[in-house]
Chain A
Amino acid sequence: MIAELGNYALVLALAVALVQSVVPLYGARRRDAVLMGVAEPTALAQFGFVALSFAALVACYVMSDFSVATVFDNSHSTMPLIYKFTSVWGNHEGSMLLWVLILALFGALVAGFGGNIPATLKATVLSVQSWVAAAFYLFILITSNPFQRLADAPFEGRDLNPILQDLGLAIHPPILYVGYVGFSISFSFAIAALIEGRIDAAWARWVRPWTLVAWMCLTLGIAMGSYWAYYTLGWGGWWFWDPVENASFMPWLAGTALLHSAVVMEKREALKIWTILLAILTFSLSLIGTFLVRSGVLTSVHAFASDPMRGVFILAILVLFIGGGLALFAWRAPLLKQGGLFAPVSREGALVFNNLFLTTACATVFVGTLYPLALEALTGEKISVGAPFFDATFGPLFVPLLIAVPFGPLMAWKRGDLKGVTQRLTAAFVLALLGVAAVCAIEGRPVLAAFGIGLAIFVIAGAITDIVERTGLWRAPFGTALRRAAGLPRSAWGSAFAHIGLGVSLLGIIGVTQWGSEQIVSLRPGDKVSLRHYEFTFDGTTPRRGSNYSDLVVKFTVRRNGERIGVMEPAKRTFATRQMTTTEAALLSRGFSQLYVSLGDTNADGSIAVRIYHKPLVLLIWLGCLVMVFGGGLSLSDRRLRVGAPKPAKARTALQPAEQRA
């Protein structure tokens, strides 16, 4: 009954979405306030129905209703409650329902909080948003209905894929999806601007908070996914350039570019057409990501099922929205007036530089991800494009970008002074050189790593320089500087923190890739093995039982220079239902570095293969991402964004009926 209710609610959501995708748009063209007014209640109702549908699916999982096919396939009555809950989206059907839930949520948020957006623009945006939603409701109802029943209800489910039975999974997909799907708002705004045929600085202000929210969540989602892979897969890698990771990384790169170009548009009314194009491309990359992960063209843990019908359907959605969006762009973009002249050396110029390198880097990731698929489709030849490809293409493109990061915020708008900015960055540069010298003195080689550390320090110190310059610290009395610091726009603090976060992540990446060390050995109880300054003693093994699994736990005592610093207990976990084992790695943090122990097979002679890693500075990778997200949050809280844009120019207000003032 509950499943049918959920199914019915989803059908209703589709019906509402169809109304919403036509009526407000028509109303906006006719300037009919009543028809435009349909947008808000339908957007809210749509969200209500999808939420009801999602709640119904959650209920099926929590009550272990195995007559529902997806519950049977992905749940088990002995599973802890939290995993019953998370397995709702631990499979294709459920995760698509989560996708549309977030899509509808964003539509509802625009309807509820977009009070300062002009009525015609808002109606058009909500209509466009609804096209996307309708397409995906159809996709779910036709090809991947999570509420499908089984003729004979089984007594027990098949359990959730053990690798997914982890708390990281509980939060990773929803947050990542908020990021992915959040860019749909930027897309809808871009399409609406093209339909309306006009765009101004105010547009950029309305779009920016939504883009920022999506970007923050995507950053957080990618970081969590990376940490999850790091500790669950048992080989200590934090980024594999796996197509599924790239699928989320491409929208991130494009979205980062979009955030920066929207700044230019907001402040200087320049780069309008480019910003619109980026908004379309960013969401297109989100859709492509969804296609890659959901269609089964890539087989990996994320492609829960492969069904050609689904692939073709998503491909059709892809072609419709990306092709349609770009065609509309080609047709309407020439109508948009260009504004804001600027010299190549200026804040705008720096942001163009940023966009140029970010989008090009994104393009190389795109090629690396899709080339194997294209080649196989065309020639049947199977290749793999792995880390060496991305190191050789993405790396060299990102280095100039990182060097340029400290320069951007210090440049003046319109016409900058490169020499003056360089002078102001002297302190940062000296700090970076000191860092290089210190690393060379302590670690010696590799020299490249020392330069990487130097670059990271330059990025961090450069971001701090920006704040120091703005507050006049050192030059003005401390009290004045403090007052100025409090008066700085939050977005200035936000960008400084985001850039600091970037530098911090870079420190971690350099640390773990250049100075990480590992040992792979077979050990028996009583054996000792040392790595760097640490000594690991294999104390023994103990079996342990969990609710739906059993562990074989190995206890290690870790000593540093003879002093006991902790106990590590990696395990091999066996899940009875699926007859599958997973590796539970043990982590021991030492400052920002970690020791990592995971188990391999048990050999015939009773010894156990053990992998021991020392991961210097590894925690900084994710800490940096958190700092970036924090910066995004500061920027989001900027008063100018909350209050909204100042009223548009007089000529334009004249076009709007008086009663529209919210």
Chain B
Amino acid sequence: MTRKQRRLTLIAAGVGVLGLAVALVLSALKDSIVFFNSPSDLVEKHVAPGTRIRLGGLVVPGSIVRGADLNVGFEVSDGNRAVQVTYQGVLPDLFREGQGVVTEGALQTSGTFKADSVLAKHDEKYMPKEVADALKKQGHWKDEYENKKPGAGTRTTP
């Protein structure tokens, strides 16, 4: 093989692997990404039942109902609309009334959202970014949701 042929072999191999990677990435992006929606989005975007999505918002105070076999139901709201969510399993440590939550699952034909995972986030002051944005969009954002850091705005010392 001449030097040129060898170089061509290398380039062909490189292009081949890259092509494979691009094909894999494109097909995976088509199939395995999940869109985030707020309860209002569900209505506005006409999300079809059965489509896998993430639903986020605030857990409506007083809406948590625990049933047998670790079944739990609660409402998720973005201030304008609320959606009934059902879930079976253990809720994360930081799942609380009035706090932000992100769930993943699919809308049922009955209109309730069946979640198969409730995302655990690890800071009690933490508001999921998607939820914060959704609340801001609906005009229901309150400053106290945000974690105040020193130097960033007002602070009071105890």
Cβ B32 vs Cβ A389 within 8 A: yes
Which of A378-386, A448-456, A474-482, A492-500 sits within the interface? A378-386
| Known contacts A148-B150, A356-B17, A388-B31, A600 near B90 by CB under 8 Å | yes
Tell me, yes or no, whether A578 is within 8 Å of chain B by CB.
Answer: yes
A residues less than 8 Å from B120 (CB atoms): 233, 235
Which one of A72, A343, A356 contacts B1 once the chains associate, using CB atoms below 8 Å? A343
Q: Is A5 an interface residue (CB 8 A)?
A: no
Contact code string B1-33 (vs A, CB < 8 Å = 1, else 0)? 101001001100110011011001101110111
Which one, B33, B89, B129, contacts A389 given CB within 8 A? B33
Cβ-closest chain B residue relative to A309: B152
Chain B residue contacts of A604, Cβ below 8 A: 66
Hey, which chain A residues are within 8 Å of B91, CB to CB? 600-601
Report Cα–Cα, A397/B66, bound state, in Å.
Answer: 44
Report B118 CB to chain A, min CB distance, Å.
11
Q: Judging by beta carbons under 8 Å apart, are B124 and A580 in contact?
A: yes
Residues of chain A contacted by B25 (CB below 8 angstroms): 364, 367-368, 393
**Is B150's CB under 8 angstroms from A72's CB?**
yes
Query: A154 at interface (Cβ–Cβ under 8 A)?
Result: yes
User: What are the residues of chain B within 8 A of A541 when measuring CB–CB?
Assistant: none
- Chain B residues with Cβ below 8 Å from A70 are 150
Given contacts A73-B150, A300-B121, are A393 and B54 in contact (CB under 8 A)? no
Residues of chain A within 8 A of B70, CB atoms compared: 520-522, 600, 609
Contact indicator A69/B29 (Cβ below 8 Å): no
Please report whether the interface of chain A is mostly helix, strand, loop or mixed according to DSSP: mixed
Cβ distance A368 to chain B, nearest Cβ, rounded Å: 8
> B126 interface residue, CB < 8 Å from A?
yes
Closest Cβ of chain B to A253, distance in Å, is 13
Distance from A65 Cβ to chain B, minimum over Cβ atoms (Å): 14
Interface residue? B133 (CB, 8 A): yes
Contact A578-B21, Cβ < 8 Å, known A341-B6, A600-B90, A601-B91 = no
Q: How far is the CA of A367 from the CA of B94 in the complex (A)?
A: 30
- Residue on B with the closest CB to A357? B17
- With A383-B36, A384-B36, A386-B32 as known contacts, state yes or no: A352 contacts B10, CB within 8 Å: yes
Q: Is the C-beta of B62 less than 8 angstroms from some C-beta in chain A?
A: no
Please indicate the chain B residues that have their CB under 8 angstroms from the CB of A579 in the complex.
Answer: 124
B142 an interface residue at 8 Å Cβ cutoff? no
Closest to A600 in B: B90
Q: How many residues of A contact B (CB 8 A)?
A: 65
Task: Determine if A581 and B93 form an interchain contact, defined as CB atoms under 8 angstroms apart.
Answer: yes
Query: Which of B9, B34, B89, B149 is in CB contact (< 8 Å) with A384?
Result: B34
1/0 contact string of A572-616 vs chain B (CB within 8 Å): 000000111111000000000000000011011000010100000
Q: Report yes or no: A384 in contact with B123, Cβ–Cβ below 8 A.
A: no
Check A363–B21 contact: CB distance below 8 A.
yes
With A352-B10, A601-B91 in contact, is A388–B28 under 8 Å at CB? yes
B128 touches A299 (CB 8 A): yes
B residues near A155, Cβ cutoff 8 Å: 158
- B93 proximity list for chain A (CB < 8 A): 234, 580-583
Whether B89 pairs with A578 at a CB distance below 8 angstroms is no
Interface check B109, CB cutoff 8 A: no
Q: Which residues of B contact A393 (CB under 8 A)?
A: 21, 24-25, 28
| Cross-chain contact of A522 among B69, B149, B157 (Cβ < 8 A) | B69
CB distance from B29 to the nearest CB of A (A): 7
Query: Could you say which residues of chain A place their CB within 8 Å of the CB of B130?
Result: 382
A147 CA / B115 CA spacing, docked (Å) = 45
Chain B min CB distance to A548 (Å) = 15
Shortest C-beta distance, B134 to chain A (Å), equals 9
A385 to B53 CA separation, bound complex (whole angstroms): 11
Whether A386 pairs with B20 at a CB distance below 8 angstroms is no
**Cβ of B29: which chain A residues have Cβ within 8 Å of it?**
371, 385, 389
What would 23 A/B residue contacts be, using CB atoms closer than 8 Å? A70-B150, A73-B149, A73-B150, A148-B150, A148-B151, A235-B120, A299-B129, A300-B121, A301-B122, A301-B123, A342-B6, A344-B13, A352-B10, A360-B18, A368-B25, A382-B130, A383-B35, A388-B31, A392-B27, A393-B24, A522-B70, A581-B93, A582-B93
Question: Given A73-B149, A233-B120, A305-B152, 13 more contacts at CB 8 Å?
Answer: A69-B151, A233-B122, A299-B126, A305-B147, A344-B1, A352-B13, A361-B21, A385-B33, A388-B31, A388-B32, A392-B31, A522-B69, A580-B124
Binding site for A on B (CB under 8 A): 1, 3, 6, 9-10, 13-14, 17-18, 20-21, 24-25, 27-29, 31-36, 54, 66, 69-70, 89-91, 93-94, 104, 120-124, 126, 128-130, 133, 147, 149-152, 157-158
List residues of A whose CB falls within 8 A of some B CB. Answer: 69-70, 72-73, 148, 150-156, 161, 163, 233-235, 299-301, 305, 307, 341-344, 352-353, 356-357, 360-361, 363-364, 367-368, 371-372, 381-386, 388-389, 392-393, 396-397, 520-522, 578-583, 600-601, 603-604, 609, 611
